[in-house]
Structure 1
């Protein structure tokens, strides 16, 4: 016998016991009450040996679960079942179905185009499945989803892979384009098939491709709009140039190698003409030189000036005051101060170029000079540096390119340097020349971050060329303004977006390739002046829309530049030639909003963090230029996929995970089993996608185990609903057992939390909510309590039907809540349920919960009783609660009234309180019995009650509880005889 005592409770109690440990059970989850039947069943619907063998006289009276739903699927059976579900449940038709139905709201997730140059990989899986989870959730909520998959089809990497070892030698632009198109189409076919196999919901017959004529025409309309506003212009200025690819690159096409090694030098420029202030001060000191430092010695022949910080103080040998100490250490010498001058006092000085006789270069002020490294004076080569070019523009310096497209010195660099690679032997030759004339002070290796071509993985150089640019400086302020109104997930990424904007003064959009959208410009054969206006571009745009951009090379010039267009300008068709450059692929993809979204804005763009400086930026800039708004309302930015060991995936390391192998298995199933699509989707959903996402056998095995545990719970629900028809046999919530009403209350809270999680792109949070609900609220709590009613009550009894009504709602709610993540499993469950009636789950909507399920008062009663039960069970570790008669003693008050609502009679073996306690009999009393049996187990504890005062603050008061229990079915000598007190069973 177990007694519980609580002293008088204040009648102002508003809420208590909201955080009780409902799951702290110390016995098999579904062991039967021994006073009623002998069979035992587990949560997965399987029957324990006593029942399976027909032991005991009650076998025929037990209502065991029955279902054909398999506990697990493996190997080829799993693969076949997933494909069968996709066919039976109309996965291919789902997108068009939801587009045709009436909906109050549209949800637009604009697909960033994957690059069409390879096979599908786990990065694709992460991205596409993340998008599909969100789209399926929004569709289930009743919105009309707009999701058009697309591919980025142009660009150098595709061109190079298509040509392979052939190269471009002897091939015409049209031949190159044909091979590139065939290569891209093959990659698209493979990727599209994989995306469909992953269950991605889309209209796969109406995708967008950047090589389609209609897409190219939409792109040129944006180009024309920006050109007419003066935002696109041609100029001769330094750009990032890839000698390995022989084309200009944009910032977004660079990768910075932090381990790049350069030969850095300290070199002197002799002062040929002293600045006036300096000449007065130094007197007869003799020759004076300026000391500079550079990591690119090859640019010395292109030097046009030496720059200093206007407000800095300098010394002779002319270096910045702030750098004296560091330089003395680096040069292993003492530096004696001779004179000190401000930066402005250096103006008027002229240096002798160290390697070019009779060439003099001025000392000039520049704000970009810093004291962080070097000497405080900067060798300036306007042709080979972005900041250097800004100085040249201001002071009208010469900008002559001494490097060709292959990264070799031209004849302008002199005969001793001509044809040498500037990143190799040419660099060494310049250092030797400096050494020969006595200008080299020190040479050292410098490890630093340096830009590389993102495709060829080779270093780039900065060299000037005539290119087409977008004036980002004119767009930057507006871009920042509209970006401030965009939701960024995670918010921490907003700083990177702004930083990328600040780093880009202009955007080079022309490329010297054949595979791309031609820039619609004509050049005068004699003057080289470009011919481009709204008439010429509009005409070419119409041709591209009808024939595709191949017509730029296929049609005669008379068709591209007809007389009616030439009437607007002076000259004849024969005076012009078509341009050879194509548009940057970031301009290609960045104008997708114009081709796909038309006049609407996307609710969200979802891509990897590499797009912070890529597609997110190019889309923002082009949209701001034309529409004065961002093309998206929100950005969701995820990280990259790495191996389980934290390594970047590469074939050389042998750690590449192929999503096709994950789904279908490898040659050796023991090493690479077939996990199926839903395991891949679970992995995506469960991962923290805002940091590096790991994948490997351990992660995949864990995902498979989690799904199998979920299947077991679903099997238990389906098995116990066999023959139950909710349309005719469901019980009204008001007539249900309190514990059943309480579960509906929990189910309602669960459904609202799940909805909030998906709304916030929180698929990982949704999984955690699912697992907590199943483990804590169902398996360890509800399922362990309802076993007697479910298996032993008459089939059509109110208690059993009440329980089945709740199980039906739980099955429906859990199935719908997992559907965005596990669509195959959700549809499989729905096919086994009676509620489907030939309809697929995804056509039947989101979780349905009723406001009448909310029962806060009942929650107090049940959770208070749960706290008492936890104390009881913790007092009998390892024993069956059904072996005990339980007495709960509570002093008169609100708590007593709440617990009394679960048991009408003082003592009962069949009350809802007894069911909750899982004892053989429960007595509820307000007076402690005077004589306790000698074998009684007594437990004392305290319970925290929250009182709500006038200030609406929650305060806590503790009440002491006493429990005692007496064993009723124990084997002689095994009855508990210990007495415990002060048990920790209070609500936190």
Structure 2
């Protein structure tokens, strides 16, 4: 029948009653019919018990053809999980993996399971990960492939250790390394059982009887053997280098363990480094009547005590300027004269300009230690994007700084301990001060007292944080173990070409990482993990590693 016409024929009376009961339609006729039918449908399926007061309420129900079913509209309380379990049992979810493995098929689809951390209850992130993998596996199974999917867990590392220590509270301070390991192992086992039960409950098709665990002795033994193979090939080495260091976790971190906080606030400063010995080519430009200083900008004031040099860009132009406020002479990049003067709320008169190469062989004195010499050195990492075109260089607290120090045989002493605290060698005023807190206050105060601080201002910028503790890290030189990525790079790039990446951009990210990092820090200063199989001398800075030490470790 046409929706816009009144119904005719045997059902007309039924429809008329339905329409009269639900009231005269205020919408077009066809919408009134739809509304009445929808209401009747709901009443029929749900079996509503509230009968109409009209004695003719059910008189016409049988004249409308509606589906009849015993299937409930919804399940309440425990009915839903009970029904899901019943469906899983009747459909043989638990036997599906073993069933498909016994099929005679020529193709096999192997999905390597990136393991979750065994450090907590199952959550929606686990569900997303495992269900998406399950969809992929079932898709290939339905296309005729045999599925190989062995799930596993990452049972070592700082996330688990931090979780255990936080639950123990003050008691953790008195625990030995062995006791922490035992508690971490127990915690990881309990977390694995919780997560595994949830994954099975979600119906994930996997080899649940043969999961892998990184704290399994056989798994650890394979790791140690591979470590020695890499060491034997010269790919693993120990060195004193600046690394990302987490004072809150008291351990070195790899770059992958960092997250960057774009709202971090640093106390940036403009510092004077008094000229000590003029570069030969500039001797005639600088008079003895007025003091001359190099202007330096840094966002890490606490690194000033460890300064060993000032770096410049040989290809750039630099200028000698006179400050209208103090009458002092400053040296900085010619391109930064106006912007720095504006920041310092003064004006600069340019006395002369010269090439950066003319700074060669010049020296200046340390702003906090007048007797200490800081040479002027050329460097490729200096830019004109920010600052003054002159870079304060502390080899123990910067990757590029370390490279410059290696070329020029500069001292690389670190004045900061594992907790991010100044050690005694930093001086009595700084000793036992946290570098990111009170230590920074004291350094700035000392610079003011020496009259070498020109300006302090807050800077909001992106800064690396420990992704586990959510607290800022520092760069700190220490002896660590590294993998030489440079020697692996060529082979790795060739092998990556044989791998299909989804999405393809992730391949570029991995290659970029290898290009940026010539080495990878693999050592950590915590107790819950696979040990590096090395024996250290009790008093000397020497270590022993060979095939026999590996065997002893495996025992």
Give per-residue Cα distances to partners, 1:378-413, cap 9 Å, x unaligned.
000000111111111111111101001111111111
Residue 583 of structure 1 corresponds to none
Partner SS for 1:261: strand
Q: How far apart are the structure 1 equivalents of 2:359 and 2:127? A: 60
1:196 aligns with 2:209: no
Q: 1:306 — aligned with what? A: 310
In the alignment, is the contact (CA less than 8 A) between 1:300 and 1:381 conserved in 2? Answer: yes
Measured at CA, do residues 502 and 183 of structure 1 come closer, stay the same or move farther in structure 2, by a change above 3 Å?
same
Q: Say if 1:99 and 1:45 are closer, same or farther in 2 by CA, change over 3 A.
A: farther
Mapping of 1:122-521 within 5 angstroms?
A: 122-163=124-165, 164-284=168-288, 286-316=290-320, 317-521=330-534
| Counterpart Cα distance in 1 of 2:81 and 2:333 | 71
Distance 1:496 1:483 in 2: 12
Correspondences of 1:514-913 after superposition (within 5 Å):
514-541=527-554, 543=555
Cα distance change on mapping 1:309 and 1:33 into 2, 3 Å: farther
Q: Say which of 67, 91, 94 aligns to 1:92.
A: 94
Question: Within 1, Cα distance between the matches of 2:215 and 2:456?
Answer: 50
**SS of match in other structure, 1:475:** helix
Contact 1:160–1:167 (CA under 8 A) maintained in structure 2: no
Q: Mark the CA change 1:215 to 1:307 in structure 2 (over 3 Å): closer, same or farther.
A: same
How far residue 463 of structure 1 moved from its aligned partner, in angstroms, is: 1.0
Deviation digits for residues 205-242 of structure 1, max 9, x if unmatched? 21111111111112112212211121110011111111
1:911-966 per-position Cα deviation (integer Å, ceiling 9, x unaligned) = xxxxxxxxxxxxxxxxxxxxxxxxxxxxxxxxxxxxxxxxxxxxxxxxxxxxxxxx
Count the aligned residue pairs.
507
Provide the C-alpha distance between the structure 2 equivalents of 1:32 and 1:293, rounded to a whole number of angstroms. Answer: 90
Deviation for aligned residue 1:66: 6.9
Distance change (3 Å), C-alpha of 1:130 and 1:34: farther
Rate the CA distance shift 1:339–1:34 in 2: closer, same or farther, 3 A.
Answer: farther
Q: CA, structure 1 residues 100+33, in 2 after alignment: closer, same or farther (shift >3 Å)?
A: farther
Larger radius of gyration: 1
Partners of 1:364 and 1:167 in 2: how far apart? 51
Mapped contact 1:228–1:534 kept (Cα < 8 A): no
After superposition, the C-alpha distances for 1:774-795 in whole angstroms (9 at most, x for unaligned) are xxxxxxxxxxxxxxxxxxxxxx
Structure 2 CA distance for aligned equivalents of residues 142 and 538 of structure 1: 45
Q: CA deviation at 1:475?
A: 2.5
Does the Cα contact within 8 Å between 1:282 and 1:339 map onto a contact in 2?
no
| Whole-angstrom distance in 2 between the partners of 1:54 and 1:257 | 67
Q: 1:51 & 1:506 partners in 2: Cα distance? A: 84
Q: In structure 2, do the counterparts of structure 1 residues 196 and 438 end up closer, same or farther at CA, with 3 Å as the change threshold? A: same
Alpha-carbon deviation of 1:353? 0.6
CA spacing shift, 1:27–1:497, aligned 2, 3 Å? farther
Alpha-carbon distance, 1:491 to partner: 3.1
- Matches of 1:303 and 1:53, distance apart in 2: 91
Q: Mark the CA change 1:33 to 1:182 in structure 2 (over 3 Å): closer, same or farther.
A: farther
Shift in Å at residue 328 of structure 1? 1.6
SS at match of 1:373: coil
> How far does the alpha carbon of each residue in 1:69-102 deviate from its partner, in whole angstroms, 9 at most, with x for none?
5565554333211110111222112112222222
CA pair 397-34 structure 1, distance change in 2 beyond 3 A = farther
1:51 is displaced (CA, Å) by 12
Distance apart, 1:124 and its partner CA: 1.2
Q: Secondary structure at the match of 2:368?
A: coil
Residues 160 and 167 of structure 1: CA distance in aligned 2, closer, same or farther (over 3 Å) = farther
Question: Scaled by the length of structure 2, what TM-score is found?
Answer: 0.85
Structure-2 separation of matches of 1:54 and 1:198: 42
Distance 1:83 1:451, change over 3 A: same
1:107 is matched with which residue: 109, 114, 118? Answer: 109
Distance (Å, rounded) in 2 between the aligned partners of 1:521 and 1:122: 40
Deviation track 1:603-654 (CA, whole Å, cap 9, x = no partner) reads: xxxxxxxxxxxxxxxxxxxxxxxxxxxxxxxxxxxxxxxxxxxxxxxxxxxx
Give the C-alpha shift of residue 110 in structure 1: 0.9
Looking at structure 2, the residues matched to 531 and 488 of structure 1 have their Cα atoms a distance apart, in angstroms, of 41
Taking the aligned partners of 1:362 and 1:33, their CA distance within structure 2 comes to: 106
**Post-superposition offset of 1:147:** 1.0
Question: What is the rounded CA distance, in whole Å, between the counterparts of 2:468 and 2:100 in structure 1?
Answer: 40
Higher relative contact order (CA 8 A, sep 6+): 1
Instruction: Give RMSD over aligned pairs.
Output: 2.9
How much does 1:369 deviate?
A: 0.6
**In the TM superposition, what whole-angstrom CA distance separates every residue of 1:834-887 from its partner, at most 9, and x where no partner exists?**
xxxxxxxxxxxxxxxxxxxxxxxxxxxxxxxxxxxxxxxxxxxxxxxxxxxxxx
- Deviations along 1:579-622, whole A, 9 cap, x unmatched? xxxxxxxxxxxxxxxxxxxxxxxxxxxxxxxxxxxxxxxxxxxx
- Secondary structure of 2:81's counterpart equals helix
The alpha-carbon distance between structure 1 residues 396 and 134, as it changes in their structure 2 partners (threshold 3 A), is same
**CA apart distance, 1:495:** 4.0
- How far did 1:538 drift? 4.3
Alpha-carbon distance in 1 for matches of 2:279, 2:143: 75
From the superposition, tell whether residues 509 and 34 of structure 1 become closer, same or farther in structure 2 (CA, over 3 Å).
Answer: farther
Q: Distance in 2 between matches of 1:297 and 1:454?
A: 24
With 479-488 and 167-176 compared, the bigger mean Cα shift is at 479-488
1-side partners of 2:8 and 2:527: how far apart?
76
Q: Is the contact made by 1:271 and 1:350 (CA closer than 8 Å) also made in structure 2?
A: yes
Q: Secondary structure at the match of 1:371?
A: coil
1:45–1:65 Cα contact (<8 Å) kept? no
Distance verdict in 2 for CA 1:27–1:343, change over 3 Å: farther
**Which digits, 9 at most, give the CA deviation of each residue in 1:729-783, with x for residues without a partner?**
xxxxxxxxxxxxxxxxxxxxxxxxxxxxxxxxxxxxxxxxxxxxxxxxxxxxxxx
Question: Deviation above 6 Å: which 4+ runs of structure 1?
Answer: 31-35, 38-42, 44-52, 64-67
CA distance in 1, matches of 2:257, 2:470: 11
Structure 1 unpaired stretches of 5+? 1-24, 544-988
